[in-house]
Structure 1
Amino acid sequence: MRTSARLLALVASLESLQPAAAADKAVTLPWSAPATTQVVVEDRKFTSGDAQLAGTLYMPASRRPVTAIVVTHSASSPLRTASLYDHLKTILPALGIAVFVYDRRGSGESGTQNAGGNFTILADDAIAAVLHLKNDPRIDPRRIGTWGLSQGGWISPLAASRSRDIAFVIAVSAPVVTADVQMIFSSTNHLKANGYSQADIDQMVAARKAVDNYMRGTVSRADAQEKLDGIKTKPWFKYLYMGETFRDREVSGWRKEIENDPLKNLEAVTVPTLVLYGADDAVVPVADSAQRLNIVASRMPKVQVHVIAGADHAMEMSADLKTSLDPKNDGTEQPDSPEYFALLSSWLAAQRLVGS
């Protein structure tokens, strides 16, 4: 009994020293040592426009104010608990950087009203998160930036172009083409990966373009709907991420998305910016995006672009193509590319954002 009591006392004393990020582990081994990086985890609420949003701050212990990064969301990962963001919660505090992840408006604890495809609203939510963190004396108000993957890679530069409070931008797997071009590229690869014919691909592209052109006002709604009706029963329709009908162009969120040119947003960013792509990304046209960036590179001296060998859209190397493109796995991504981790860390260090 005495030995058991001593073990229990030892476990209790070690648990008190564990970082908050690890405090939710069901069992702490009695021989565990306290980690060097101590992290305080705090739930927060902040206001953006007419919405109250909820998030979680992962704050490394430090004697001086630290850098902080606000996470902007992938389209398929609106919740702060999504596995896509777990690596940030581990890597960034270890570098002495706080990370703030929140539920996208209309998701989780951030209300029920979404942005309706309006990227400006989502960018302003990120800005509101930055302003919220500026009030925390543990955070250096001059060193708050944003990280976003995929759609979040559109939102982060847009936010930086609209606010001087954002000190740096990290955009991962962010297509530097409009949303309609990106989705045709993605849907084509979804069909190819699942063995569908070129005739199927051509039919899909024709339907997508009809809907897109209706949004631009060059095709009638009836003609666009007819094209969509012709494919909505196809077994591959799920790979298109489209509904069986669409909203009127005057109120359509999709119209807002395709009218947004992410290259213009990037060109308007004047702070240090890191753009990362996976060479094997089947969702984003990396070659076209990198080419567009190269054309304007002389006007964007603070932008660095890297294409990472073997990495896919979510910076994963372990997932096979069909698995990574299966809609049922959306929101379960877990980045695991060592080169991605290395580039992210080394760039942050080069910008003097690491540590206090």
Structure 2
Amino acid sequence: MESPPTEASPQSLLPYYGSYSTDTGDVVVIARLGWFFDMRTSVYRTIYATSSPARFTIGTRFHEPLPKFADLLFGNGTLTIAESARARTAHHIGYRHTDVSVPAIGAQLSGTITEPIGAGPHPGIVVVHGAERGERYFYDIWVGVYTSLGLAVLTYDKRGIGSSTGTYPGDFPTVQALNVYADDAFAALSFLSLWPGIDPKRVGFHGGSQGGWTVPLAGERHRRGAFAVLASAPATTVDQTDLWAGFSGGGAVMPTESTGQMLAEVRDTHSGYDPAPALRALAVPALWLLGSNDRTVPTAVCVEILSAMRKPNFTVQLLPTGHGLLVNPTGLLRDDDQSPGLAPELVPALRAWMMQVLSR
């Protein structure tokens, strides 16, 4: 009996990661974390290894290897996506990757700048981590998305993680830890703004999950950044967010309480770090990408908070997803495995908003 496919390792994908373009202009991204993303169709799948080092497979759902959806065959700068009824060949896009060291307070942040094709000056974006012990390669998908929109992207290892020096402040978002992360984000933005070929007036932030607290705080503390994209990002306090996540065991089980009861309890909780002052001070264009079925962040309360601020520079895009922006009707982590991909609205909404912001 044939053994089930195993997930591809970051090391096995190291020769092949990056963005590929088909003859029709479709962009496909291969991430070292083991993910495949087709930006046109929103297909987002886990990559599985085979006996051949240049051949991989993907299934019909995000984290299900079988039935097989396609073979991924890598050649000399090419990727052939061989489905049962057709095959497409894409060519590796020659973005320039430069490893850098970003000076921060008490640390050197090891990062990579990925620059798009074509003459500059280019707009730029700094990708700010969520709660994980994050390294720069965690964000290959976002690098592929933003470079396809013409932005240079700086990703970096969190302080004390990967190749970065300094002391890791921990996973929990204390005020002290968030201040450190905000200062690191500002250091990265300042570094990218001075990079040759970058337009310093068009450099902004991307913050996901916990990074949605970090980015507005960086803006409040340093008054820098031309825009902000906040994905699955809370506008609620830390304790409100933790309370909401606790109802589902962090997305593990369906809550026993009604939605109305849960939201009422969240609204009545006000402790923990509160992002409201930083959000009120945020004067640049900001886009929230929020999953309507998120079990980690209370999206409904976040929308209420943001709407009550009546800030014309704020845009909220609701998506039929859970916390990971995968299409998911329940928001439970186990149901991410059966997802066909990321929300189809995600990339078009981000592209339209970014084009508007960068053209000002």
TM-score (norm 1): 0.67
Alignment of 1:64-213 (within 5 A): 64-76=120-132, 78-82=134-138, 85-111=139-165, 113-116=167-170, 117=174, 118-190=177-249, 194=253
1:352 matched to 2:333: no
Match of 2:286 in 1: 273
Q: Match for residue 327 of structure 2?
A: 317
Tell me, in whole angstroms, the C-alpha distance in 2 between the residues paired with 1:170 and 1:91.
13
Mark the CA change 1:302 to 1:42 in structure 2 (over 3 Å): closer, same or farther: same
Shift of 1:30: 8.4
- Match of residue 314, structure 2, among 300, 303, 315: 303
1:49 alignment partner in structure 2:
105
Amino acid at match of 2:178: F
2:307 to 286, 289, 294: 294
Question: Cα distance, 1:91 vs. partner?
Answer: 1.5
**Equivalent AA in structure 1 for residue 308 of structure 2:** I
Q: CA deviation at 1:185?
A: 0.6
Higher mean C-alpha displacement, 129-138 vs 189-198:
189-198
* Residue 66 (structure 1) shift: 0.2
Q: Which digits, 9 at most, give the CA deviation of each residue in 1:302-321, with x for residues without a partner?
A: 1111211x211121116974
Residue identity in the other structure for 1:277: L
Deviations 1:73-122 (A, max 9, x none): 1112511122xx22211111111111111111121111251135321110
Instruction: Identify unmatched segments of 5+ residues in structure 2.
Output: 1-19, 22-28, 33-52, 55-73, 80-88
The gaps in structure 1 that reach 5 residues or longer are: 1-17, 207-212, 217-257
Query: 2: CA distance between counterparts of 1:192 and 1:44?
Result: 36
Residues 199-233 of structure 1 show CA distances to partners (whole Å, capped at 9, x for unaligned) of: xxx9xxx9xxxxxx9xx9xxxxxxxxxxxxxxxxx
Write 1 or 2 for the structure with the bigger share of strand.
2
Query: In 2 relative to 1, CA 39–353 (structure 1 residues): closer, same or farther, beyond 3 Å?
Result: farther
Letter in 2 for 1:303: F
Deviation at 1:57, TM superposition (A): 1.2
SS in 2 for 1:76: coil
Q: Does 1:262 align with 2:275?
A: yes
Once residues 315 and 124 of structure 1 are traced to their aligned partners in structure 2, the CA distance between those partners, rounded to angstroms, is 27
Residues 192 and 324 of structure 1: CA distance in aligned 2, closer, same or farther (over 3 Å): closer
| Identity over aligned pairs, percent | 30
8 Å CA contact 2:295, 2:332 repeated in 1: no
CA pair 259-185 structure 1, distance change in 2 beyond 3 A: closer
More helix by share: 1
Deviation of 1:195 (Å): 6.0
Preserved CA contact (<8 Å) 1:37 1:94: no
Alignment check: 8 A CA contact 2:127 2:154 kept: yes
Kindly tell me: are residues 193 and 91 of structure 1, through their superposed partners in 2, closer, same or farther at Cα, counting changes over 3 Å?
Answer: closer
In 1, the alpha carbon distance for the partners of 2:154 and 2:274 equals: 27
User: Which secondary structure state, in structure 1, belongs to the residue aligned with residue 307 of structure 2?
Assistant: helix
The CA deviation at 1:323 is 2.9
What's the CA shift string for 1:37-82, capped at 9, x where partnerless? 5301111111111111111111112212101110111112511122
Partners of 1:86 and 1:334 within 8 A in 2: no
Alignment TM-score, normalising by the size of structure 2? 0.66
Separation (CA, whole Å) in 2 of partners of 1:314 and 1:191: 13
CA RMSD, aligned part only?
A: 3.5
Q: For residues 335 and 99 of structure 1, do their structure 2 counterparts lie closer, same or farther at Cα, with a shift above 3 Å needed? A: farther
